[in-house]
Amino acid sequence: MSEVDVSKFEKKIEVRNIKEEDIESILELQKKCFPNMDPWKREHLESHLEIFPEGQFCVEYEGEIIGSCSSLIINFDEYDDDHTWDDITDEGYITNHNPDGYNLYGIEVMVHPEFRRMNIGRRLYNARKELARQLNLKSIIIGGRIPNYHKHADEMSPKEYVEEVEYHNIYDPVLTFQMKNGFTLMRINPNYLPDDDASQQYATLMEWNNVDYRAKTRRRFRTSFPVRICAVQYAMKKIESFQEFANQVEYYVDVAADFGSDFCVFPEIFTTQLMSFMDEKIPSKAIRRLTDYTEDYIKLFTELAVKYNVNVIGGSHFVLENENIYNIAYLFRRDGTIEQQYKIHVTPNERKWWGIHEGEGIGVFDTDCGKIAIQICYDIEFPELARIATDKGANIIFTPFCTDDRQGYLRVRYCAQARAVENQVYTVIAGTVGNLSQVENMDVQYAQSGIFAPSDFAFARDGIVGECNPNIETVVVGDVDLEILRRQRQGGTVRQLKDRRKDLYEINYKK
């Protein structure tokens, strides 16, 4: 008997998490699946992958994406009974995703029309169920379309239509499928998807309960999520060695730790203090010599963050890369890991005196106190950056700054407070004071460091959590509450994030 080569009959089908390179295929798939509805935008899917990558699935068949689904985690009890798709997804960006929530909420399932009847939808639903089990989530909730309802809308109400589908007297491709997959009806929501004419804008709220769910005492309704921040108003004064600089820095980290701080924040380019013991009068040459201390600086702050168990925003430092000098801020986590954020907008002064180059990329960094962003001095004066960081999930924006006069300082301060209001985030500014009279272009400093909140009843009066007295060497310590922030985004007096008119305008972030 001849041996049969079975490999030529094999077909490869795989359910996996979506990757960034799948985005274009998924956008094309949506056009085929929902030709009469508003499609995803690329930035929607990028936001999904940025915020909750493990909740986004696709089916790949012979190298082609033929199905996909998207989801997020929420505490469903916190949403209004008559919520819309926009409410539950933050208009498709899922920035309201709550990793400590109890419910997986499915926001879309797509199957290529040419590949239906292959159990593609069931595979995607099973992937969601397995994820719910792995994450020990209480249930999966979906707002399901009823796309055949428009054929019966003249003769029956949505409730009557759903009952007929439940009795198997009417077939609905979505509702029937969901019931077969173990979902039960919770209620019917009107005005769920404005462009879903086939469903007459109605949606069936369906739930699948995870029978393997086990309540844990650590998972309870969170009443607060306090984060303590220590912003250092750092004195620039002449020193004689790197060790003297290290001693001054460690003093402040120790102070932050004594106060039980989660973050200790240093100012922008405060490492220029090292130039006070260099015998170099030409600014551009002095800056290049300063970059020789980059490894010493990183080693020092990494050790301090671990030793004192504090996440340290290490101000910023000039770094030489490929013969170009960049202004880079570092996050030194207390677990010993490090992140970096380049200054994106360089001031005319930095360019003229030091030849600093502009960086790229708007980072949002995970910490044990939620997601944070760092925007160095001038960067906080460009509102697009803070909005992009917020859309990526940042709750706190740290701004190390260095200004030599009151006007420059006020630009930073006013813009930081504006960003807090616009984006419903906390902002923190930390600046330098004193003088380096012997260092060219670093003569005098002006600062009043502070911690700012959105302006609403739940937050500090005047939106100021705390601030230093101006122009003295000191620190400001204040508590911010991320749980209050999250609730106010959902139900504050004003809701700048939810109320944005994305139908009229949007920010296009070019990576």
Kindly report, residue by residue over 171-188, the tens digit of the pLDDT. Answer: 998 898 889 889 999 989
- Look at residue 383 in the predicted model and tell me its pLDDT: 96
Residue 149 CB neighbour total at 10 angstroms: 24
Residue 335 within a domain: yes
Q: At which of 209, 241, 266 does a domain end?
A: 209
pLDDT exceeds cutoff 70 at 1:
no
Residue 438 within a domain: yes
- Look at residue 357 in the predicted model and tell me its pLDDT: 94
- Catalytic residue check, 402: no
Count of alpha carbons within 13 angstroms of residue 409, beta-carbon side? 18
Residue 469 within a domain: yes
Please state, in angstroms and as integers, the Cα–Cα distance from residue 220 to each residue in 100, 102, 180, 223, 224, following that order: 9, 9, 32, 9, 11
What is the total residue count of the chain?
Answer: 511
Indicate whether 193 and 238 sit together in one domain: no
Residue 505 within a domain: no
Query: Which one of 230, 377, 415, 468 is the catalytic residue?
Result: 377
Contacts of 373 (CB under 8 A, 6+ apart): 341, 362, 363, 364, 365, 386, 389, 392, 394, 396, 397, 398
Task: Give phi and psi for 486, each to the nearest 5.
Answer: -65, -45
pLDDT exceeds cutoff 90 at 13:
no
pLDDT tens digits for 460-499? Answer: 889 999 999 999 999 999 999 999 998 898 888 998 888 8
Please state, in angstroms and as integers, the Cα–Cα distance from residue 60 to each residue in 8, 20, 64, 68, 112, following that order: 18, 14, 5, 9, 11
Query: Which one of 129, 343, 371, 392 is the catalytic residue?
Result: 343
Task: Give phi and psi for 167, each to the nearest 5.
Answer: -85, 0
Indicate whether 133 and 175 sit together in one domain: yes
Closest CA to 392 of 353, 361, 356, 364: 364
- Catalytic residue check, 440: no
Please state, in angstroms and as integers, the Cα–Cα distance from residue 42 to each residue in 67, 224, 290, following that order: 17, 34, 42
Q: At which of 181, 209, 237 does a domain end?
A: 209
Q: The domain that contains 189 carries what CATH number?
A: 3.40.630.30
Indicate whether 175 and 280 sit together in one domain: no
Q: At which of 157, 180, 209 does a domain end?
A: 209
- Look at residue 169 in the predicted model and tell me its pLDDT: 93
- Look at residue 40 in the predicted model and tell me its pLDDT: 85
Please state, in angstroms and as integers, the Cα–Cα distance from residue 203 to each residue in 80, 122, 146, following that order: 15, 20, 7
Indicate whether 387 and 485 sit together in one domain: yes
Are the C-beta atoms of residues 452 and 416 closer than 8 Å to each other?
Answer: yes
Indicate whether 128 and 70 sit together in one domain: yes
Q: By mean pLDDT, which of 48-52, 144-148, 191-195, 459-463 is the weakest?
A: 191-195
- Look at residue 371 in the predicted model and tell me its pLDDT: 93
Query: Which one of 50, 91, 108, 268 is the catalytic residue?
Result: 268
Indicate whether 242 and 192 sit together in one domain: no
Mean pLDDT, the chain, whole residue set: 90
Residue 95 within a domain: yes
Indicate whether 183 and 264 sit together in one domain: no
Count of alpha carbons within 13 angstroms of residue 401, beta-carbon side? 34
The mean pLDDT value for 151-172 works out to: 91
Residue 413 within a domain: yes
Task: Give phi and psi for 20, each to the nearest 5.
Answer: -60, -35
- Look at residue 437 in the predicted model and tell me its pLDDT: 74
pLDDT exceeds cutoff 50 at 218:
no
Q: By mean pLDDT, which of 33-37, 197-201, 279-283, 461-465 is the weakest?
A: 279-283
The mean pLDDT value for 381-391 works out to: 95
pLDDT exceeds cutoff 50 at 350:
yes
Q: How many helices (H) and strands (E) does the chain have?
A: 13, 21
Distance separating the N- and C-terminal Cα atoms of the chain: 59
- Catalytic residue check, 506: no
Domain total for the chain? 2
Indicate whether 121 and 252 sit together in one domain: no
Residue 36 within a domain: yes
Residue 399 CB neighbour total at 10 angstroms: 32
Per the structure, the complete domain to which residue 349 belongs is given by 226-491
- Look at residue 11 in the predicted model and tell me its pLDDT: 60
Residue 17 within a domain: yes
Indicate whether 270 and 167 sit together in one domain: no
- Look at residue 441 in the predicted model and tell me its pLDDT: 66
Indicate whether 233 and 153 sit together in one domain: no
What six digits make up the tokens of 406?
């009151």
Indicate whether 151 and 205 sit together in one domain: yes
Q: The domain that contains 351 carries what CATH number?
A: 3.60.110.10
Indicate whether 285 and 315 sit together in one domain: yes
Q: By mean pLDDT, which of 125-139, 228-242, 278-292 is the weakest?
A: 278-292
pLDDT exceeds cutoff 60 at 221:
no
pLDDT exceeds cutoff 70 at 403:
yes
- pTM for the structure as a whole: 0.68
Are the C-beta atoms of residues 233 and 449 closer than 8 Å to each other?
Answer: yes
What six digits make up the tokens of 178?
């969901």
The mean pLDDT value for 189-194 works out to: 86
